[in-house]
Amino acid sequence: MSDTWLMTNLRAVKGRAYPRVIGASREPSWIFFEVALPLLTVAAYAYIYKFMDAPAAFIGFVILGGAMTAFWLNVLWGMASQLYWEKETGNLQLYMMAPISRMSLLAGMAVGGLIGTTMRAAATMIIGIGVFSITLDLSEPLMLVVVFMVTMIALYGMGMMFASLYLLLGREAWHMSNLMTEPIYLASGFYFPVKALGAYAAVGASVIPITLGLDALRQLFYPATSGEYGFLPIEVELLILAGLCVMFLILSKLSLDYMEKLGKRTGRLTLRWQ
């Protein structure tokens, strides 16, 4: 029975990941805009830093931050808002009736979104590196992969938790995504070291996994700047990120279970009372 349950949920993960991986290639214009538009912001900050005679590492900070914005936007619009959109299109009833874990549905969305978004972020990095002729330190590739993967697990775990909360908010989900887009760019230090915000603000922003993940990646790519611009030692940030992984996955499970029970009891997830 357990093997059957596991295989059923793995097929659900594959089924939800498939349209996000394949569907994106069927609309080439999306790929162009998702790569080109972030580059405009990256270029603007890069030229500002050049004008200010900032250290050369800041150009690399900006390019890396611009690439990571793709993941934050995917979490907001491709994860957190997803169940609300499914409700609006009438698919949520099917998900609730399916004999699978709701976590497997969101995990499939996360896997599919992560694959497509990683390719777009990589394109932003490659083009930015080529245009601005920056150099990155790749002396610790294994640590880079570990930090990136732990950051993504924590970040998409947070997206899973937001999915049920956004579903409860109803129409406000759209406004919440809009509200959280730009402030997180500032709080998480997408275009500058988060340490510049001060210790208290940086600690508060560390609740968002991409804050510490981005800071750790910058320290790995520019180890010479770790002491001056790094917020915390890489090992400490990795440990905190691992804790955030566990916390957000547990909270997402609890929130999804609560919303499922609420829907079964009141019908609020399938009836448009709002």
Q: Domain limits of the chain?
A: 2-266
CA angle (236, 241, 246) in 5-degree steps: 130
Closest CA to 34 of 121, 109, 113, 114: 121
Q: For the chain, how long is the longest CA-to-CA vector? A: 64
262 and 164 Cβ atoms separated by less than 8 Å? no
134 and 128 Cβ atoms separated by less than 8 Å? yes
The CA-to-CA distance between both ends of the chain, in Å, stands at: 40
If 0-12 CB within 10 Å is exposed, 13-18 middle and 19+ buried, where does residue 272 land? Answer: exposed
Task: Please write the tens of the pLDDT for every residue from 55-114.
Answer: 888 999 999 998 888 888 888 877 777 777 777 777 777 777 778 877 888 888 888 888
In the prediction, which pLDDT does 142 show? Answer: 94
In the prediction, which pLDDT does 269 show? Answer: 58
- The model's pTM is 0.85
In the prediction, which pLDDT does 273 show? Answer: 45
Residue 27, SS3? coil
Task: Please indicate whether residue 26 or residue 22 has the higher confidence score (pLDDT).
Answer: 22
Buried b (16+ CB within 10 A) or exposed e, 59-81: bbbbbbbbbbbbbbbbbbbbbbb
In the prediction, which pLDDT does 215 show? Answer: 94
Per-residue pLDDT at 189 exceeds 80: yes
Neighbours of 236 (CB within 10 A): 12
Neighbours of 112 (CB within 10 A): 24
38 and 66 Cβ atoms separated by less than 8 Å? yes
**Lowest-confidence region among 5-14, 28-37, 149-158:** 28-37
For the chain, what is the mean pLDDT? 83
Residue 161 CA to residue 273 CA, distance in Å, equals 23
What are the structure tokens assigned to 26, written together?
């069927």
In the prediction, which pLDDT does 25 show? Answer: 67
Per-residue pLDDT at 241 exceeds 90: yes
146 pLDDT tier (thresholds 50, 70, 90): very high
157 and 248 Cβ atoms separated by less than 8 Å? yes
